[in-house]
Structure 1
């Protein structure tokens, strides 16, 4: 986009060419944006329709449009130096071809889709996750959103940035296995937007840089039911964690098709904290499961969803926990999963905490190892 706008305003204005160039390139840009919007709409409404052939079609059309632009530009401005669109196109094509080659071994397992979403888990014992926070968030339109979080100090809760999007206020519940029940919570805090610290690199959508801090209005009291969790150690990276057993916890839907039933006919168990033990999966396999660019090699960590186990609707922002030497460490927070369902063997994607330790420590004044 920046390249296109720069090109528009760098054209020579002599002989009325600026107006012609502006109309031509503006029309071209609109066509590309429309095509991209259709592509994203297809991904949101029918993920299976977003196959490799669809991506190749977009790449070919992009090449065609850019070739038309280059031909027109060369004909009209034969005395001007050629722009570097060709080099940019080559980079795009090489990037896609590299993704295609890397993902070829996983092609049969690939099932591209995406959405924010503990299915087939177990009921947590009281005090099992003393750092678990329940977030009841009121949106600006008056509706409510359910999310999870982790108490990482007596003053801060860590959650997903997308949980706080369009939020006007909220309530944080600590020290209870019940979701958003004041009578059973050890502590309850009302929070406002000025207490939200969104990671500055979060774009407002998608799963990149999807983390945020909530500063509590006063310190929580440390008890057997309320205890902060330690942040991941620097060595807890992909090469170390791959294949390790980790735990994800939350108050979300207990499986596909159960979110609506839970809201209409909730049972006592629906409102209780559940967890699931899953393995950290190979990062390249996770990257290839989704569309190119959705999963980062360094900023995400994925758990294997085989057996229909993983996070589900309402678990966003909740903790991914690794036990090392009998101590719990927060290694990730729930970001997104497959749009088609929680029990369809797809990975759950989490924000990888080791990629953000410096930012968290700077905002909280913590010493991070």
Structure 2
């Protein structure tokens, strides 16, 4: 057991951008690893973020629209943002239905976000104008407060983004992609990541189907049969530095752990 943990722990890959606080990953490039091409209006809640940081540094991340004005993303994506361009309603990355640019963006990092450990890797962004709600732009539902104790272990979930197709990719994807994989229990995930907490949720990546560099902040979605609707259960956070196609789980921020905070900041809450 100790040998296995030594081989697979540490050296994690931030699934989205170069990381100044603690260099856990690679820069921006690519597509969802091993994924399928998204169809028009398949992921109307998916938002792309072009993020400008001090010293003319740029990065790309994903986000999820949760209301006409608010997005959820990963805190590590936007902690240093001085300007953000929001791409809403597009499958083709550079052909969105709505494009919004904001200098001095309104960013709400979780107050307990730790850039060293990536604990509480979650942030809310407030748009400067309403999202244009239509077939290609539509908020995703959050889990209800009554679902806060649901683990989602072993359910089929879908992650989407413009992240790398494989570990050799060198360019940001022009087209949105997605993977459908099963949620892995935290008890299994901890064999690969010793810092996993209940506020994380993991996805199996057997066969090289995974989130990858460029996908950070993007959604992990579960189709809830009791509501007959898609529900946002995770936010892409990190993976292994050794590569996206090696079979190590992808790690997400567990949305149900932050429902009260999301409601307090954004007013978005479901019973």
If the length of structure 1 is used for normalisation, what is the TM-score? 0.65
**Any conservation in 2 of the 1:319–1:332 contact (CA below 8 Å)?**
yes
- Alignment partner, residue 200 of structure 2: 300
SS at match of 1:289: coil
2:189 to 266, 286, 303: 286
Q: In the alignment, which residue of structure 1 is the partner of 2:13? A: 115
Secondary structure, counterpart of 1:167 in structure 2: coil
User: What is the CA–CA distance in structure 1 between the aligned matches of 2:252 and 2:75, rounded to whole Å?
Assistant: 12
* Alpha carbons of structure 1 residues 221 and 239: separation in structure 2 relative to 1, 3 Å: closer
Q: Choose from 258, 261, 264 the match for 1:362.
A: 264
Structure 1 residues 52 and 174, CA, compared in 2 at 3 Å: closer, same or farther? same
**Which residue of the partner structure matches residue 322 of structure 1?**
222
Aligned pair 1:248/2:151, yes or no? no
CA spacing shift, 1:255–1:198, aligned 2, 3 Å: same
Displacement of 1:191 in angstroms is 2.3
Match of residue 166 from structure 1:
80
Deviation, 1:367, is: 3.2
How many Å apart are 1:273 and its aligned residue?
0.2
- Asked whether the equivalents of residues 120 and 255 of structure 1 are also in contact (C-alpha less than 8 Å), the reply is yes
Please state whether the residue corresponding to 1:337 is helix, strand or coil: strand
Unaligned runs of 5+ in 1: 1-50, 54-106, 264-269
Structure with more of its chain in strand, by fraction: 2
Deviations 1:75-98 (A, max 9, x none): xxxxxxxxxxxxxxxxxxxxxxxx
**Could you say which structure has the higher helix fraction?**
1
In structure 2, C-alpha distance between the alignment counterparts of 1:116 and 1:167, rounded to whole Å: 17
Aligned residue runs from structure 1 range 258-297, under 5 A: 258=169, 260=170, 262=171, 270-290=173-193, 292=194, 294-296=195-197
- Structure with larger RCO (C-alpha < 8 A, sep 6+): 2
The structure-2 alpha-carbon separation of the partners of 1:192 and 1:138, relative to structure 1 and needing over 3 Å to count, comes to same
Deviation of 1:233 after TM superposition, in Å, equals 2.9
Match of 1:96 in 2: none
Larger Rg: 1
When the two chains are superposed, the root-mean-square deviation of aligned CA atoms in Å is 2.0
* Mapped pair 1:207 → 2:118: yes
Deviation of 1:315 after TM superposition, in Å, equals: 0.2
Deviations 1:268-324 (A, max 9, x none): xx310000000001211111212x3x211x100000111111100000000000001
Distance 1:316 1:238 in 2: 24
Partner Cα separation in structure 2 for residue 143 and residue 177 of structure 1 = 25
> For the residues of structure 2 that align with 1:176 and 1:132, how far apart are their CA atoms?
8
Equivalent residues, number: 252
User: Which residue of the other structure, out of 242, 247, 253, is the alignment partner of 1:340?
Assistant: 242
The residue aligned with 2:140 is 229
d(CA) in 1 for partners of 2:145 and 2:82?
35
In the TM superposition, residue 240 of structure 1 has moved relative to its aligned partner by 4.7
- Is structure 2 residue 138 aligned with structure 1 residue 220? no
Task: Find the aligned partners of 2:254 and 2:132 in 1 and give their Cα distance.
Answer: 28
**In structure 2, do the counterparts of structure 1 residues 215 and 272 end up closer, same or farther at CA, with 3 Å as the change threshold?**
same
Is contact 1:151-1:229 (8 Å) kept?
A: yes
Distance 2:164 2:215 in 1: 8
CA contact (8 A) 2:45 2:64 kept: yes
Structure 2 portions without partners, runs of 5+: 16-31
